[in-house]
Amino acid sequence: MKKFILLICISSFTIALFSQNLSSNNPKAIKYYNDGIKFYENYESLNALNKFKKATEIDPQFIEAYLLVAQIYSDLEIYDSSIVYYKKAIDIDKDFFPNAYMIIAKISYMTGKYSDAVSYQELYYRHHKLSDFQKNRAELDLDLYRGALELYNNPVPFTPVNLGNNVNSDYSEYSPALTIDDNTIIFTRKLPSIDNKNEQEDFFQSNKLNNGQWSKAEPLQGELNTNNNEGAHTISADGKIIYFTACNRSDGYGSCDIYRSYKRGNIWTKAENVKELNSETWDSQPSLSADGKTIYFASARSGNMDIYESQLLDNNKWSKPTRLPKNITTAKSELTPFIHPDGKTLFFASDGHGGMGKYDIFYAQKINDTLWTNPINIGYPINTNNDDAFLFVNANGNKAFFASEMSGGFGGYDIYMFELPKNIISNPVTYFKGLVLDINNNTPITNAVAELFSLNDGSSKGKAKTDYDGTFILPLPTGTTYALNVSAENYLFYSEHIELMETRDSLHPFIKYIYLKPIQKDQTMVLNNILFDFDKSTLRPESYVELEKLYKLLIENPNLIIEIGGHTDNKGTKEYNLILSEKRAKAVFDYLVSKNINPNRLKYKGYGDTKPIAENTTEEGRQLNRRTEIKILNN
């Protein structure tokens, strides 16, 4: 229908504006008014505006003309003038059109004037002409405006800092994503296309320099960037996998799909469509968990734009996506999910949870696989009356990155950083960075697999492959105890026990050289995660992760014959230590036999305190000496 009829529907304009029963009796004013109606019906807003204003000049008490001037200014998004004319109508007769209070309140809310929004909505809510239905609707909006005013009156710290001209340029930069060590940022830059007639989006990368500044951004190398658009991305914790959004491609399923590319050395592979995540509609804005096992993304497959999640299966495929529960997804839209490296805190944009107006950024905490806490508005002035979305938070939880067109930038959207309020991320995440080397020649071992397990329940917490330089990165959320295993073909695996019960952030990571020993006769390997209770030989449940790695090593090397050696410190008698160490070695032997490993491939022996690898004068040394070790007898 025409705009004029739409006005009546939106604002419940119950007076019959086309009738002869107008508030003016002046024929000349009424003629201008009727001429304005005709222009308005034909979408000639400026001509209509002039006619209605003429009508009010001739008859300053012409309420309907004031209301239509106000509506046209609202159509033109000249909101201050719209409010002026609604107020003129109210001043003439406050009961003529009560909805004017409601409209002023809504415009005030849209434009960030929250105190006015509350004041005028209260006047509307208390008006005697409202029906019960209108009153209930008015109360809901009043709660919304009061909530926005509360946020506005209690601002959170917000001092954004431009990342500088090595990252930002004359063009627009947005959608920043960082590796878990904060040393690499990958973002989207909008550039002129080859014909200079259109624009295209490509990925760029910048690295943190020793002085804390960023290097000059360069486009990602390889086949990832194309003449089409690439954007709205997420990267794995180690920066070696990227999931992103591409639209209208020949291998696409819907209008926009999620794609994936891998980093091989410094080269990115040609992107592949992640078929199991995509639908016939719009799928976009992926966010990968730090352990690489869960992906969140926005999708329109249910009609609205909602947030979905999927789990990585053993075959490297993703499970069927499921929508997040109803306390997250509303009847309106939720977009731009970002899952923090803690694996629990989800940031997203929504226009369905109230807030400052349009899209606001919210966060919620994951309780378990199906439950989330109710979303919390991240606060003003991070959120404003404009659309706010696309927030990235570093592993420490103290810095957030976003894009903005705020004044003082280098051109278009620039990428900024600000200090995130401390109450949002309660558990900062650190990381383990390893360099895997051959113990004999110090050469990097490529394609070694580093796996992280929780010793609390044996669950996998992350997996990474070493790059061409032998390095890997794995995230380490605090609050648990980990087993780290590093393995490579033709090598014995390496294991480490990592206690992270206390808070530790990414400013204090675990960085270590890891030396793998080739599978050769007489080679030994310490099993750091074979654990026993004090003075006992019963395997603790935390040991089974490591036992499974040992079992797998024997299965993959069927000619391997090993000795399992038990060792103690020098506390207690030598005879007692010898017996205890042999019982512990036999416990490992019994486990492997129970898994159908041929007992002829296994020997076990207790050495007591006869073969220390550290001094027994300190607790740290004694702890190293209390160990289970294997020795290769034949390979």
φ, ψ of residue 147 to 5 degrees: the values are: -65, -40
- If 0-12 CB within 10 Å is exposed, 13-18 middle and 19+ buried, where does residue 245 land? buried
pLDDT tens string 101-158: 999 999 999 999 999 999 999 999 999 889 999 999 999 999 999 999 999 999 999 9
Q: What is the residue extent of each domain of the chain?
A: 3-153, 161-419, 427-518, 522-635
Specify the pLDDT at position 223: 94
Alpha carbon distance, N-terminus to C-terminus of the chain: 83
Burial of 253 (0-12, 13-18, 19+ CB in 10 A): middle
Tokens of 126: 């208390």
Q: Which CATH class is domain 3-153?
A: mainly alpha
Spatial separation of the C-alpha atoms in residues 354 and 623, rounded to whole Å? 56
pLDDT at site 18: 43
pTM score: 0.86
C-alpha 424/C-alpha 557 separation (Å) is: 48
Q: Tell me, what's the pLDDT at 17?
A: 47
The whole-number average pLDDT for the span 43-68 is: 97
User: Would you say 481 and 503 are in contact if contact means Cβ atoms under 8 Å apart?
Assistant: no
To the nearest whole percent, how much of the chain has pLDDT over 70?
95
- At residue 195 the predicted structure's pLDDT band, cuts being 50, 70 and 90, is low
Q: How much is the pLDDT for 7?
A: 40
**How many whole angstroms separate alpha carbon 438 and alpha carbon 199?**
48
User: Could you read off the pLDDT of 328-348 as tens digits, one per residue?
Assistant: 999 999 999 999 999 999 999
* Whether pLDDT at 43 is above 50: yes
pLDDT tens across 242-288, in order?
999 999 999 999 999 999 999 988 899 999 999 999 999 999 999 99
Mean pLDDT of 410-424: 92
Cα 28 from Cα 65, distance rounded (Å): 13
Note the pLDDT of residue 502.
64
Task: Note the CATH architecture for domain 161-419.
Answer: 6 Propeller (2.120)
At residue 372 the predicted structure's pLDDT band, cuts being 50, 70 and 90, is: very high
3-class SS at 216?
Answer: coil
> Which residue, chain included where needed, has tokens 């909602």?
306
Report the pLDDT value the prediction gives residue 497, as an integer from 0 to 100: 86
pLDDT tens readout for residues 5-31: 334 333 334 334 444 589 999 999 999
Lowest mean pLDDT of 135-149, 193-207, 364-378, name the range: 193-207
CA distance 335 to 304: 10
pLDDT at 423: 83
Class of the domain covering 522-635: alpha beta
Q: What is the CATH number of domain 427-518?
A: 2.60.40.1120
**Mean pLDDT across the chain:** 91
Tell me which residue has tokens 């803690």: 342
Q: How far apart are CA 544 and CA 531, in angstroms?
A: 9
